[in-house]
Chain A
Amino acid sequence: MAGVAPGGSGSGSDIYRGNGPRLMLPVWVFIGIFLLLPVILMAVYSFLTKEFRGGVIWDFTLAAYDQFFLNRGLFGDEPATIEWTYIGIFWRSIWQAGLATVFCLLIGFPTAWYVATRPASTRSVWLFLITIPYWVNLLIRTVSMKFLLRDTGPLNEFLMWTGLISDPLSLINTNFAVQVGLFYSYLPFMVLPIYAAVERYDFSLSEAAADLYCNNWTTLRLVILPAVKPGIVAGCILVFVPSLGAFLAPDLLGGAKTFMIGSLIEEQFKGAAGNWPFGAAAAMILLTLVMVVLLIHARVQVREDR
């Protein structure tokens, strides 16, 4: 095909040129009105005054953020000191999400690699097996994990049967259980993008490295990991971001001591004890954190694409 033919096949096609805005209108209506606008409204709510039976009074104030970051004593008249309760919950969430990401990576990378290097005939079956849990209802998966980990659940019974332990371990309502839940919830999110990256990997690069005296592990470190890094980063973000705001795993597998951001926010909107502006403020802080992660990722990606 002659060099300058931008109308040709590829992504820059303009068969239906002029219709773009019209075709995009439903997206703007639905996502614009029912997500973008609500998020903006939520930002506004975080600056309003709380009403005691849930809801808000339209008086602008910084009270929600003040409550989040500062401690002014029981009656609000003491000198402000830093309030660690909520920062602590955020910190625990970040820590738990980070840990889950690391574990998912440790299990997910070898799995993705192994599946992607299967012969074409069996590869799709492997991929299928890895994909199924990704499609299974997250609530059901979390409930299953709760059932498995119960004091009188199958895991404890099995361990006692083997004689490894004599009394059941109490696993539920611990940070450990929440961690297992997060790991279990988002493991498929790690495997799939890494699999996609490994599948695109050009194995002649490994051969070239082997030819130049690398053993397999050196090749992994010097050649493979840099080549599939975009897939790894994507996988880490896909695990970290939802883990950070996770609700089901901490709620069903954890207890009061394992509180995470998701539960903190949820609590503000349920029942009479709620505090909508405070919940909105906490959600804003979570959203900001997530956006920072995504922006950094996007910037790094743009820089590396150049």
Chain B
Amino acid sequence: MAKTDIRRFAGFRATTWLCLLVLYAPLVIVAIYSFNASTSITRWGGFSLKWYVDVFSGPEAPKFRAAAINSFAIAIGAATCATIIATAAAVAMNRAGRFRGKLASLALINLPLMVPEIVTAVASLIFFITIGFKTGLLTIFVAHLVFCIPFAYLPIAARMKSVPDMFEQAAMDLYATPWEAFRLVLLPLMVPGILSGFLLAFIISLDDFLITNFVKGAGIETLPTAIFGSVKQGIKPNIMAISTLLLGVSVVLVTLSWLIGRAGQNKK
């Protein structure tokens, strides 16, 4: 009798392929149909780039261009700030010994992950309206910053935990001030964690629809809210083109973060 492999279970491989099929099929189909020459979205009329041309120069192009600029500007801004805040928080949690409110701080960092998105959206809207904060780009930015913090924090804190503090101790033993020890030793060693924290926060910001939809104010759109508004009137081929483009952006970013992660691992 052949030796049984303790890792093998009948059907698990088939299930995995099914899982991949389920995850990818809708995306791949939309990507394919975005190259459809036909105006009818379901009939295949040959390969064409016309919907991509439409996205960039069609009647809706200005709307989507403005939305894209808003989306990327907010994502870059929110992810950058969230990364800085999360790095400071990770130092506090991992390198600053005990202090009052440490546990509460950890809970607070994780709060955006625990509160359901719809609740955050409603609470933010109520808050901004109550204090008379005019909803617009700034409110979107602030709301994104808040929920980006825990996503940036997770990889950064994980990386910091894996960097032993002996390097900073050695630096301080060699006459580096605490700030120099952080800047010259800890920070360079943290680069992979910080980059993946930033990328994660960036994608999460780019991804958000629900909270943005509540706090965006009239007339201001991000890509997801613009797409949502458009889809409400039916799926049009130009939406599939935009979706495919955004899909491409996500894939590029994940690949980037994956490669960074691998490089970081190889260094160890």
Q: Which of A10, A18, A34, A184 contacts B143 (CB 8 A)?
A: A34
Report yes or no: A23 in contact with B231, Cβ–Cβ below 8 A.
no
Given the known interface contacts A19-B92, A31-B149, A247-B117, the answer about A144 and B231 at a Cβ–Cβ threshold of 8 Å is no
Given the known interface contacts A132-B250, A291-B114, the answer about A34 and B146 at a Cβ–Cβ threshold of 8 Å is yes
Check: B76 CB closer than 8 A to any chain A CB.
no
Given the known interface contacts A280-B122, A294-B114, the answer about A27 and B100 at a Cβ–Cβ threshold of 8 Å is no
Report yes or no: A111 in contact with B19, Cβ–Cβ below 8 A.
yes
B246 to chain A: closest CB distance in Å?
A: 5
Residues 4-45 of chain B, each 1 if its beta carbon lies under 8 Å from chain A, else 0: 101111011101101110111111011001000000011000
Residues 140-156 of chain B, each 1 if its beta carbon lies under 8 Å from chain A, else 0: 00110111010000000
Report yes or no: A31 in contact with B111, Cβ–Cβ below 8 A.
yes
Report yes or no: B96 in contact with A20, Cβ–Cβ below 8 A.
yes
What count of chain A residues pass the 8 Å CB interface test?
A: 101
Report yes or no: A9 in contact with B120, Cβ–Cβ below 8 A.
no
Contacts of B243 in A (CB 8 A): 137, 140, 143-144
Majority SS of interface residues in chain A? helix
Report yes or no: A210 in contact with B42, Cβ–Cβ below 8 A.
no
B261 to chain A: closest CB distance in Å?
A: 9
Report yes or no: A35 in contact with B115, Cβ–Cβ below 8 A.
yes
Closest chain A residue to B147, Cβ basis: A35
B162 to chain A: closest CB distance in Å?
A: 10
Q: Which of A31, A137, A147, A245 contacts B116 (CB 8 A)?
A: A245
- A: which residues have CB within 8 A of B? 8-21, 23-24, 26-28, 30-32, 34-39, 41-42, 45, 55, 107-108, 110-111, 113-115, 117, 124, 126, 128-133, 135-141, 143-148, 150, 152-154, 157, 183-184, 187-188, 191, 203, 206-207, 210, 215-217, 219-220, 241-242, 244-245, 247-248, 252, 261-262, 265-266, 269, 276, 279-280, 283, 286-287, 290-291, 294
